[in-house]
Structure 1
Amino acid sequence: MIDALAPIFVGPLADFADRLALADDPRPGLRGSELLDPAVLGPILERFARRYDQPEPRAVASMWTKWHFWMLLTPVVAASLLLEHGLPTDLDEVEVIVAPDGQTTAFKLPHGGGPATPADGFERFGALVDGHIEPLIRALAAQSGATAKVLWSNVGNLFENLLRQIEASGLARGPGPAQARALMASRDWPGRRPNPLFEPVRYVERGGDRKRVRRVCCIRYLIPSLELCSTCPLEKARPA
């Protein structure tokens, strides 16, 4: 565990205390940028696929991203929004600890980061997006055939859900949550491209209840043993 982050690793975040470590952690890892190499990423996805009886490559990549980015975003976003603490996350900087079954379990960072006072959400999360999420999604899409839109939707769903829980906790004292909300409300990433994190989920009324619904399906249903998730935008059951 990184000592500066200890205050956030309590309650529901306690299980993430060992998900971020420093370079001297004895667990073996691979350089994050190695995941961009098909010769490395392909076998990792193949090992991950063995948990399913009838794996489908696009759905396997989608499910893998959920695990990978859950392990990464949860502590990194919590540190940013609760502690105003920035962390190094570039694929060129971090090592990824991968279990024998291909699942990402933790990250080794080159240093423990430090105080950060970004002007807006794009500055707050720009390095995370540009240095880790975007290049890895490009590699995963090329490897599996899954669209980048689907994989970005997984990131957005995780990001919004984590933000919602942090807001509900009342523990954030800085501008971070408001900046994160503003980021997701913007159609464009300043100066260059559409915002891949724009409105990843919607809240709709169904049967008198307010329901959280993803904008884009994660395509997990392409694996026959998996059902539609509780936030799926598809209203029908699995296609015949």
Structure 2
Amino acid sequence: MIPSLAPLFQGAFASYAPMLRLAAAGEPALPLVALFEPDALRRQLHRFRPDLQGEDERALLSIWSKYYFLYLVPPVLGANLILQRSLPIHPSAMHLELNQEGLPSCFVLEHEGASVPVGAHPLTRFEPLIRENMETVISGWQQALGLSPRVLWSNASRYIRWFLGELEKAGLPAMMWQPGKAILECETFADGSANPLAGAYRERLNQNTGDAMIVRRTCCIRFRLPDMPLCEDCPRLCKKGQMAQAPTVARQSS
């Protein structure tokens, strides 16, 4: 754990404390940019799900990427919103520890970060997360295995939305989590370029039940793999005859 971030990892968020540490001399962890190389990325995907080797590798990468975003978003976005701290998370400055299953177990940073960027635009403070880290890894993975960036941005949006909801449910003052809503609501950055996370969720009518539901704009395509049910916020649930099924295997993605 990074000592300066200790106040963040309390209560329900204590489990995220081991997810960040500072780099050591002769750092043994894998440079994050190494996972932009197709063969290196495939090795981790096959460690993650050896039973799916030979299946659609883009769908497999989509599932793997969910773990990446699930583990990255809470400590990084929490540090930004609660501690007003921006962490050094450009992939060129990060290493990654992977567990025996090929999943991220720790993000290794070069230093403890600095105060969040000051700017009038609501997305300025989140640009290191969105434009430096997410945009770079999404581009790298798209070039490596051909997975649509829309799928990967949608996967990232899922955990941003979830974490902001967790902060709200934890009873934190609105001033601590409310600014984060701009990530999914603000359509452009200060320079006028489009925010790929804007409008990631929308209300749709479930054609099977007639109920309105909030779903992601883009499916994660994990349905292309055997025994994978639809996510509970999958847009395919709104199509007639498409329904979430109980998993038929014990191990499922986040």
TM-score exceeds 0.5 = yes
Pairing of 1:63-102 with structure 2 (within 5 A): 63-102=63-102
2:34 partner amino acid: E
Counterpart for residue 184 of structure 1: 184
Count of residues paired in the alignment: 237
Q: Equivalent residue for 1:157?
A: 158
Contact 1:36 1:135 in 2 (8 A): no
Give the percent of matched residue pairs that are identical in Structure 1 and Structure 2.
Answer: 31
Whether the 8 Å CA contact 1:9–1:16 is kept in 2: the answer is yes
Pair 1:148–1:75, CA change in 2 (3 A): same
| Larger RCO (CA under 8 A, 6+ residues apart) | 1
Aligned pairs (5 A) from 1:189-228:
189-191=189-191, 193-203=193-203, 211-228=213-230
| Structure-to-structure mapping, 1:108-187, within 5 angstroms | 108-116=108-116, 118-119=118-119, 120-172=121-173, 174=175, 177-187=177-187
Q: Letter of the aligned partner of 2:229 in structure 1?
A: E
Unaligned ranges ≥5, structure 2:
245-254
Q: CA deviation at 1:76?
A: 0.4
| Letter of the 2:172 counterpart | L
1:227 partner letter? P
TM-score normalised per structure 2: 0.82
Question: Contact 2:69 / 2:156 at 8 angstroms: preserved in 1?
Answer: yes
Q: How far apart are the structure 1 equivalents of 2:200 and 2:2?
A: 30
Structure 1 stretch displaced more, 128-137 or 149-158 = 128-137
Distance 2:90 2:53 in 1: 34
Letter in 1 for 2:145: S
Unaligned stretches of 5+ in structure 1? none
Is the aligned partner of 1:233 residue 2:222?
no
- Whole-angstrom distance in 1 between the partners of 2:131 and 2:141: 15
Residues 43-72 of structure 1 deviation map (CA, whole Å, 9 limit, x = unaligned): 222322315477321110100110011111
Distance 1:182 1:143, change over 3 A: same
* More moved, 187-196 vs 63-72: 187-196
Equivalent residue, structure 1, for 2:11: 11
Output the CA distance in 2 between the equivalents of 1:208 and 1:177. 33
Alignment check: 8 A CA contact 1:150 1:218 kept? yes
Q: Using the alignment, how far apart are the partners of 2:200 and 2:171 within structure 1? A: 23
Confirm or deny: 8 A CA contact 1:2 1:21 kept in the other structure. Answer: yes
Distance 1:90 1:57 in 2: 25
Worse-matched range after superposition: 157-166 or 177-186: 177-186
- Alpha-carbon distance, 1:87 to partner: 0.9
Q: Distance in 1 between matches of 2:51 and 2:122?
A: 37
Going from structure 1 to structure 2, the CA distance change for 1:233 and 1:86 (only over 3 Å counts) comes to same
8 Å Cα contact 1:82/1:172 also seen in 2: no
